[in-house]
Structure 1
Amino acid sequence: MLFGCSEDFLDRPAQGNLDATTLSNQSGVEGNLIAAYSYLDGQASSGGIVSATSNWVFGSVASDDAYKGSEPGDNQTSTDIEMYQWSASSADGGMNEKWSGHYDAISRVNATINLLLTVEGISQADQDRIRGEALFLRAFYHFELWKTFVNIPYYTEVDVDFRKTNVGVDPLPLILADIDAAINLLPLEQGAVGRVDEWTAKAFKGKVQVYAEDWAGALITLGDVVGAGPYSLEDNYHYVFDALRNNGPETVLAYQASVNDGSSGGQNGNHPDRLNFPHGGSPFGCCGLHQASQNLVNAHKVDVNGLPFLDGTWNDADVVIGDAVDPRLDWTVGRDDVPFLDWGLHAPG
């Protein structure tokens, strides 16, 4: 006796995946959008330290603001980038983290936009808000990639062939176009903390214009943000770093980290930037990454008017106790014989 089965026996839904039908409602669209937001810290994986959106490796360590820190054998990727060893496999892997992580985020953004187009029953106001948030995030992630790699392809929701060239592509006009579209769609304020609104998009537009060296345009955009926007300086500089005062009046866009939420290894707890506690004998025990450089300290020198030196002389000699400095210096580093926050005098050595 022979037994058989039809060919559709082999066609089974992939386990652990959600299909479009499951997501075809407002909750599914909102969930997709939150998944796109989740990349604001960088790549949410144990190997995502180098891809942090703070750019502490590609920005601070690769310039003169900071040293990698920790120990020589720790985090070889950052060491190679700090020493400009671009051909080293670890440096190449770090660049791949940045590249793939942010394009993964862009893929989530475009999936959200396409899903939104198929779902009925969402109010026009919510449709505009969701699309505006998605367009902002798409611009943001492309901008992050452009800052690091310059020559990048730009992906939108209509792309089906992902083998796009980066030759002759100027992403800045495309980034600005997405931001302008977002500004027209976003509400002036959001009901949920962490979501972008119209003012977030306007402030970000001004930043992109600065990078594009559109000084006149940036002056207009940022003048509007400063003059009419909802932002202001904290009454006390300490409040900027007070965990009990998150999302204060200076906050334009802040990644909303979470802890004790069941994620493995604290992946949602701002993972790429979490290893910068003082090294060794500190109460934290680890890990001393992203340490301020002497160059950064010297850059805090000020003239008799309390303004920074712009003539290049700021780094001619290291800061000593008698030098006039920006008071924010001692919120940033510990200096010998100067009180460090509420830990008392910073001991020499």
Structure 2
Amino acid sequence: MTTSCAAEPLPDNPWEKWGWAFAAIWLVFLAFPTIAVAESDVPVAAKVGAWLCILGFAVANVMGYSRRRNTWLCLAAMVALGLATLPVIGIGVISYAPYLAILSALELPSPAWKWAVGFWAAFPLLSLLGIDDFPTFFFLMLWPIMIGGVMLRIFGEREQLAIAARGEHAIVAERERVARDVHDVLGHSLTALSVKAELAARLIDLDPARAKEELESIQATARQALAEVRATVGGLRAGNLEAELAAAPRVLADAGVTTRVEGSVADTDPRHRALLAWVLRESVTNVVRHARARSVVIELGAAGIAVTDDGVGSEGAEGNGLRGMRERVTGAGGTLSVGPASPGTRVEVALP
């Protein structure tokens, strides 16, 4: 009796990978302050300085969407560079507000992003003051852009909550199923043990030989029940590819084997990562037990995984571990191949 539990993989956040592209596209609207600088009545040196500030503003905006950068620092840089152009373009600095609002909406943590967006949304109201003949109600042009950024943030958070809820529901359902399995195993086994123990107690004086047989049967039943419970509960241990990839070099190093990893978890298909974790664990175990290898190469890719060692090669019939691995891979619609690597052995899994 075995069970399995595979957590639903979270989809990649598009802002982590393509946020910079989104920001770069909207930089076209920096044409307004750029033109305003060109039309301003200031010395050429001041114009060049203002254009450099606008360029720095654009760079800081794009960098703000990178997870490797601090969003607060990027926002601070954008504010400083935008204000630096104030002596040249005056009230035209309002045109920077959408960039600040959208970056705040998409990248700042909760609840700070709400306060930041609220501040930037109020900023365009300065256009109502009629300074330097700036167009009245200019905020009506900027607010829809800011609202778009807010809606993207809200929809993204709702999607993450829905995914988390589905994952929690799947975990609860799996635990309930395993609990039922454990109940069935223990209910049957404990009942049998109770009956046999009572019988042995009655026979211990009347028929010692028969009582001994019942005690031996109790031992066998207890071992069987323990094995079934372990198999059932083992289904809760979902494979984690990142954890296995981190543990494999340590396990191999303890056996005197060096490890080289080509590719990363991000290169693999999220649907199959739990399965690949099991494959990697079993492959590493086989290398440690049987290969007598000195080095191992682990290759990760979109098609699956390959583990190659320089040991003595595969010998004899297929063992239980390899047979179980093949069953898992076949059940997922993939193929498992085990062959010589000249020297050593190569275990390769290809998945759809």
Tell me the TM-score normalized by structure 2.
0.23
> Per chain length, whose mean CA-contact separation is higher, i.e. which structure has more relative contact order (CA < 8 Å, sep 6+)?
1
More strand by share: 2
Q: Give the greater-gyration-radius structure (CA).
A: 2
Q: Give the TM-score normalised by the residue count of structure 1.
A: 0.23
